[in-house]
Amino acid sequence: MDLYEHQARELFEENGIVVPRAEVTDSPERARDIARRLGGRVVVKAQVRTGGRGKAGGVRLAAGPAAAEDAARRILGMDIKGHTVGAVMLAEPVDVDREFYVSYVLDRAAGRFLAIASAQGGMEIEEAAAERPEAVVRVPVDPAEGVTTAVAARVADAAGLPPQTVDVLVRLWEVLVREDALLVEVNPLVRTTRGAIVALDGKVTLDDNALFRRTRWGGGRTTPADPLEARAAGKGLTYVRLDGEVGVIGNGAGLVMSTLDVVAGQGARPANFLDLGGGASARVMADGLSVVLSDPAVKSVLVNVFGGITSCDAVADGIVRALEEVRLTKPLVVRLDGNNAARGRAVLAARAHPLVEQATTMDGAARRAARLATAA
């Protein structure tokens, strides 16, 4: 579960990390009043659970209360990467001397956390990391030891951060532990012209499995931050949005994970993980295909099904039904194997949709889907 920025900053402040004074509202008129209370000049920031707000126009500096009201009116209702802005946070501006980046993230493969830090922070951190990877340091953190002052000093020294950031690194780790978080991030962490270390922006991702201990955030009743993930959850689908161009649908988590690897091995990037489950019905197949096709980043779709509890002809019926409900504008590659596979292939062949192709092997299906996606 991703928290909004204003929720993350609340946690930071409660744990002794300095943040600018700020208030949240969903009303342009109240934004004017808040700006007046904060001294007039404020930063108006869209509250959405995604990055890229600044580049999308969701962060604006307002010179006074009237300008704050105008900025709030412009930002509220804005679409940022599929997220509609329903609230804005108004914060005191800070005179910045230097910007830094610090975070802790769970490294699942290694069974530990990583401290990630850089002496270069702000909106261009991703570009800096890509162009100068040595500018971003990654220090493993033993969960049993945690981040002591000595560990924090080692991270700060490796990244070229000033000594004043050591205390922040320790306190940020305390936020992660107390809140059962998978990620805590401050970007940028700044040194002001007066020498203070201040967290200007923050991101916190909580572990959904521990939300029953976090009644403050809903006690386990969460809505996925991504609109497509929320839509899929509403249909009872196990769907995770990724950053690729090949939509992937399968039945069974193991098969879907294998399909993602095979797609990547063909030089393409999976756009999602979608597991229909072992007993996927025609209705579930239609719902899943509808969700995947709704992602504008998807250039082709690969359906990889091994018929077991649900036979392949039922899956094929679901695909046909989806084609009646959703206008197919992207190529669809289908690989059916197992229970009633021949009958399922015949169902698709009879439908003879011009954008639907069939493949007999997983490698062949992935290869074709990858080529179709990269050629689009």
Interval 338-363: pLDDT, tens: 989 999 999 999 999 999 999 999 99
Q: Which residues, in sequence order, are CB contacts of 201 under 8 Å at separation 6+?
A: 5, 186, 187, 188
Domain of residue 180, residue span: 96-217
Decide if 5 is inside a domain: no
pLDDT at 233 over 60: yes
Domain co-membership, 120 together with 213: yes
Retrieve residue 5's tokens: 């920025």
Decide if 149 is inside a domain: yes
Q: DSSP for 202-259, please give it.
A: EEEEE-GGGGGG-GGGTTT----SSHHHHHHHHTT-EEEE-SSSEEEEESSHHHHHHH
Model pLDDT for residues 316-327, shown as the tens digit of each residue: 988 888 888 878
Domain co-membership, 179 together with 271: no
Domain co-membership, 119 together with 77: no
Asked if residue 114 lies in contact with residue 104, where contact means CB atoms within 8 angstroms, the answer is yes
pLDDT at 284 over 80: yes
- Choosing from 182, 217, 252, the residue where a domain stops is 217
Q: In what order do the strands lie in the sheet with 272-275?
A: 238-241, 272-275, 246-250, 300-307, 332-338, 356-359
Q: DSSP for 288-354, please give it.
A: HHHHHHT-TT-SEEEEEEEESSS-HHHHHHHHHHHHHHS---S-EEEEEEETTHHHHHHHHHHH--T
Domain co-membership, 133 together with 238: no
pLDDT at 67 over 50: yes
Domain co-membership, 151 together with 253: no
Decide if 14 is inside a domain: no
Domain co-membership, 246 together with 370: yes
Domain co-membership, 144 together with 83: no
pLDDT tier at 110 (50, 70, 90 boundaries)? confident
| Rounded percentage of the chain residues whose pLDDT exceeds 90 | 66
SS3 category, 154: helix
The more confident residue out of 210 and 336 is 336
Model pLDDT for residues 21-61, shown as the tens digit of each residue: 999 999 999 999 999 999 999 999 999 988 888 888 999 99
pLDDT tier at 112 (50, 70, 90 boundaries)? confident
- Choosing from 193, 217, 241, the residue where a domain stops is 217
Domain total of the chain: 3
Domain co-membership, 273 together with 290: yes
Q: What is the pLDDT of residue 125?
A: 64
Phi and psi, residue 231, nearest 5°: -65, -45
Domain co-membership, 109 together with 240: no
pLDDT at 329 over 60: yes
Question: Alpha-carbon distance 292 to 269, whole Å?
Answer: 14
pLDDT tier at 279 (50, 70, 90 boundaries)? low
Domain co-membership, 354 together with 284: yes
Which of 190-194, 207-211, 212-216, 308-312 is the least confident region?
A: 212-216
SS3 category, 20: coil
Q: What is the pLDDT of residue 109?
A: 77
pLDDT at 220 over 50: no
Kindly report the CATH number assigned to the domain that includes residue 319.
Answer: 3.40.50.261
Catalytic residue (one of 101, 104, 179, 239): 101
Domain co-membership, 363 together with 239: yes
- Choosing from 91, 114, 138, the residue where a domain stops is 91
Distance, CA of 55 to chain centre = 17
Domain co-membership, 202 together with 273: no
Whether 99 is catalytic is no
Whether 69 is catalytic is no
Give strand pairing partners of 184. Answer: 104, 204
Decide if 330 is inside a domain: yes
Q: Which residues, in sequence order, are CB contacts of 254 under 8 Å at separation 6+?
A: none
Catalytic residue (one of 5, 69, 179, 185): 185
pLDDT at 212 over 80: no
